[in-house]
A and B are shown apart, each in its own frame.
Chain A
């Protein structure tokens, strides 16, 4: 009898160790949660598990329940994106005979509830459900990436017990990546540690999914020399150093690279946009309308306004710093359709350029051609492509406003491809 019980205990310990080792870096939290969940069929006060995104909250809870083999009902506020869906999904899975065993309700991604309609009522209702029901066989677990102080709280709010999941430390991350990858390739460990990849990325982010996205292409690059020379990975120190020397210069660019853009041979033009010339000009005019003050339109585009313009500029330069700061603060301004069309007219019509003695005179006639294209249709295309954002209510009343959302670098490239002397028309502040 005694030995059988001991065997059982041993097996339990083995399973517990497996649980702990399946989630490296979360041992303390798992032990704490196991204590809070307690023995079988023992009631529990509502529990609130919180911690930053990607700290293993959901997977810890799910693994724990798998290990404990207790019934639970899981509903995520991300997939059930409205109260109705949340409640019906819970209700569907609720319909089981109550035989006295504990049921745990797990509500995941609670932070999203804050963005719902009537979220105050719903959060206080969910947190108070335990008190309203007065059923000891039901337990509630809430998982949230926002701590309790970030919830807007209404009357009826009952504070739950809290368990915090802190962010991963560098050692924890090392163990996680080692566990996930080292079995496939023994070099991975050296890649993380000796090549200082993990150390330098950890300074930027500690989120596992972001790191693993960044590491995958880097590791390929790290192993490249091996596949080229046909070497076999070995525990050779000289080889490791060799690999590291070849690889070193790749880390820093990768740190700053958010999205992988396939590079063509020509580095200067990273992405080419295939748009009609008239659309490009329209985009440029919208950029000018957004960043130039409306008062400068006349001097900039009027052939006689050159001198006046220069005077005004000097005045502006006195309050240069303040203005610049203001501009940075405000971002692109809104403009009306009329103003856009006027600027577009000026940009396309040859006259204003001829007077200033442009080099690109040969383009002028092409541009005049462009004027005939359907501007409104192109404008709506640009709006749909999110290059220009549209606001206001009714286009018939003329109360619509637009705003150019593209960056200066992008417009510069577009201007270069037309070509169009953008800098000359940009208000200098």
Chain B
């Protein structure tokens, strides 16, 4: 019983580790040439030398831009308490300049125990921001603005960016703007007046290398050898994890995974699915099988899945459409599909059952809802479904596979029809 609760505790620990990106990326932070060290040097020098600064963190999604920044901010806040305040904005939520200024004012008020007025106008808010910048400059406090999804802030007139960067240049302020974006050309999106005020520091975040990956895996999966778990359990658990990490099968899975998407986020999703498969009652440890199951469930082909769910009638319709396409009819609609369906029914009445038009129309609409076919024109020009021209969204190979998988209910003759 005790080991079973230990297993559950271990599972909860692993789950919370994977869900906490700060923990994950702390593994890679102690190297001297890591992004963490560079960013920390940059930010701490602006804090200690009380100067203005700006930097862009660039790199693909899920490679730890924000988690590394959060780690640095945590460290700085513990090293220089009471001298740093952070304002966090996200391009998805605050790409509108007015809302962004309001949000900045709200966070500044919260930080400095001031009363925030919801009624304040955008001008009031921007004046308030400038005043706060000035005040913080005099108090030798550093304001750090974190702009996640930086490219989305450049979509409008870039009033917020201009206002922020201009204020940093003109008033006696002490502020750092950190932008994070997955667009490598994010600085090229800036207007001229904004770009000239922006320091062109950039930090590139890349997917982890093979060695880093190994460090990450060890870091995430092995249990701590402190008193929170029974000692024997931890030793056995870590030994098993070590075995799994060295296993050739595991390495193959990992290669397959990173061939598709080598970001850390993708790895974390895979690890999460794997530890979810851990058997809490019987074996109580991770096994290579957990990882194999997870790898199967992560490599899915949605089109093929929904194709295989199709009924026989829906398959008939798809085959008819494919035949029309091989006949090089560049545009066709439900009526022409029905004509083709009737033709193949007349040719092979034994294999192809005939259903009435209304039934076929319903099946046709189901196919459209599943995203296996789609209308070419915009709705509104032609009101009824049967006249709108359609396109098939699956390849003939996929259709073949699906017919093969459903061979119990669909005669093999249909497959040959698809070829001819």
Contact = CB atoms under 8 A, between A and B. Distances in A.
Contact of A204 (B302, B305, B313, B389): B313
Given A203-B353, A331-B382, A43 B15 contact: yes
A43 B370 CA distance: 32
Nearest to A253: B356
A220 interface: no
Most buried by B among A161, A258, A325: A161
A109 to B, nearest CB: 12
B269 A161 contact: yes
Contact of B370 (A52, A159, A256, A325): A52
A277 to B, nearest CB: 27
B196 interface: no
Most buried by A among B276, B308, B329: B276
Contacts of A2: 1
Interface in B350-400: 353, 355-356, 358-359, 362-363, 366, 369-371, 382-384, 386-387, 389
Given A43-B16, A148-B302, A204 B312 contact: yes
A39 B302 contact: no
Contact of B387 (A39, A136, A330): A330
B309 A52 contact: yes
Nearest to B13: A42
B273 interface: yes
Query: Which one of A41, A136, A150, A206 has the greatest number of beta carbons of chain B within 10 Å?
Result: A150
Interface stretch (A58-66, A124-132, A176-184, A361-369): A124-132
Contacts of B91: 156
A34 to B, nearest CB: 9
B92 A125 contact: yes
Interface in A24-39: 32, 35-36, 38-39
Given A150-B371, A158-B61, A136 B16 contact: yes
B407 interface: no
A411 to B, nearest CB: 15
Contacts of A428: none
A156 B180 CA distance: 11
Interface string B275-313: 011000000000000000000011010110110110111
Interface stretch (B29-37, B167-175, B237-245, B331-339): B331-339
Contact of A38 (B15, B359, B370): B15
B138 to A, nearest CB: 32
B12 A159 contact: no
A255 B359 contact: yes
Majority DSSP secondary structure for residues of B touching A: helix
Interface residues of B, number: 68
B216 interface: no
A35 to B, nearest CB: 4
Given A38-B12, A155-B152, A204-B311, A45 B18 contact: yes
B366 A205 contact: yes
A331 B384 contact: yes
Given A53-B369, A161-B273, A329-B333, A149 B303 contact: yes
B389 A132 contact: no
A166 interface: yes
A206 B305 CA distance: 15
A44 interface: yes
Contacts of B308: 166-167
B306 A52 contact: yes
A2 B386 CA distance: 68
B336 A167 contact: no
Contacts of A302: none
Interface residues of A, number: 57
Contacts of B149: 155-156
B151 interface: yes
Contact of A45 (B90, B152, B269, B384): B269
Interface string B225-264: 0000000000000000000000000000000000000000
Contact of A147 (B11, B182, B302): B302
A164 B336 contact: no
B64 to A, nearest CB: 12
B265 interface: yes
B162 interface: no
Most buried by B among A158, A203, A207, A330: A203
B97 interface: no
A203 B273 contact: no
A124 B149 CA distance: 12
B272 interface: yes
Contacts of A50: 302
Nearest to B333: A329
A202 interface: yes
A126 B409 CA distance: 40
A329 to B, nearest CB: 6
A35 B148 CA distance: 33
A35 B277 CA distance: 6
A328 B336 contact: yes
A282 to B, nearest CB: 19
Nearest to B338: A328
Interface in A320-343: 325, 328-332
A325 B337 CA distance: 11
Contacts of B90: 132
A255 B363 CA distance: 12
B92 A128 contact: yes
Contacts of B356: 256
Nearest to A43: B19
A242 interface: no
B383 A258 contact: no
Given A45-B268, A204-B312, A206-B309, A255 B152 contact: no
Contacts of A259: 358
Contacts of B188: none
B379 to A, nearest CB: 11
A162 B276 CA distance: 13
Contact of B19 (A44, A164, A330): A44
29 contacts: A32-B297, A43-B15, A44-B15, A44-B19, A45-B19, A121-B92, A131-B21, A147-B303, A147-B305, A149-B303, A150-B371, A155-B151, A155-B152, A158-B61, A158-B265, A161-B272, A164-B302, A166-B308, A203-B353, A204-B313, A204-B355, A205-B362, A205-B363, A256-B355, A258-B359, A328-B333, A329-B332, A329-B333, A405-B383
10 nearest A-B pairs in the assembled complex, by CB-CB distance: A331-B387, A167-B309, A147-B302, A256-B356, A43-B19, A203-B312, A258-B358, A328-B335, A42-B12, A150-B371
Interface of A: 2, 5, 32, 35-36, 38-39, 41-45, 50, 52-53, 121, 124-125, 128, 131-132, 136, 145-150, 155-156, 158-159, 161-164, 166-167, 202-207, 255-256, 258-259, 325, 328-332, 389, 403, 405
